[in-house]
Amino acid sequence: MIKEFKDFIAKGNVMDMAVGIIIGAAFTAIVNSLVGDLVNPIIGLFMGGVDFTELFFVLGSGEYATLAEAEEAGAAVFAIGRFIMAVINFLIIAFVVFMLVKRVNSLKRKQEAESAPAPGPSELDILMEIRDSLKK
């Protein structure tokens, strides 16, 4: 059983997946910083500093000036603004990841095209060569 487990772990797919998860976790911090520190401020600048995170509705009685006050008071809140910002952040992150994957795939295709062996003679060329050599 231990041997089977070692064989399973040693398979390339499992190791590739483990490395992918570790790199993905580290990459998440980079993408979150890119979105939070660079992209969102630019979007906020163009949208007049709009930030939806404070958009909320209290589900019950009471009025609160901020979402933090409502949560601190233990009020049930419908934090629609956080959801909107999460969707916006997701779309931005998805677009950034899409652009990165597109670039990496482009580089891979270019590298594969450069390292591809030159096409050899076709089957027809070989048969014609055999025919010509038999005629002699």
Look-up: residue for tokens 């009020």?
Answer: 75
Pair 67, 54: CB distance under 8 Å: yes
38-90 pLDDT, tens digit per residue, is 877 787 788 776 667 778 888 888 888 888 888 888 888 888 888 888 888 78
pLDDT category at 102 given cuts 50, 70, 90 is very high
Straight-line distance from the first to the last Cα atom of the chain, in angstroms, rounded to the nearest whole number: 66
Q: What angle do CA 114, 116, 111 make, to 5 degrees?
A: 35
Per-residue CA distances from 74 to 43, 60, 100, 119 (Å): 32, 11, 42, 72
Predicted TM-score (pTM) of this structure = 0.55
Structure tokens given for 104 = 């990496």
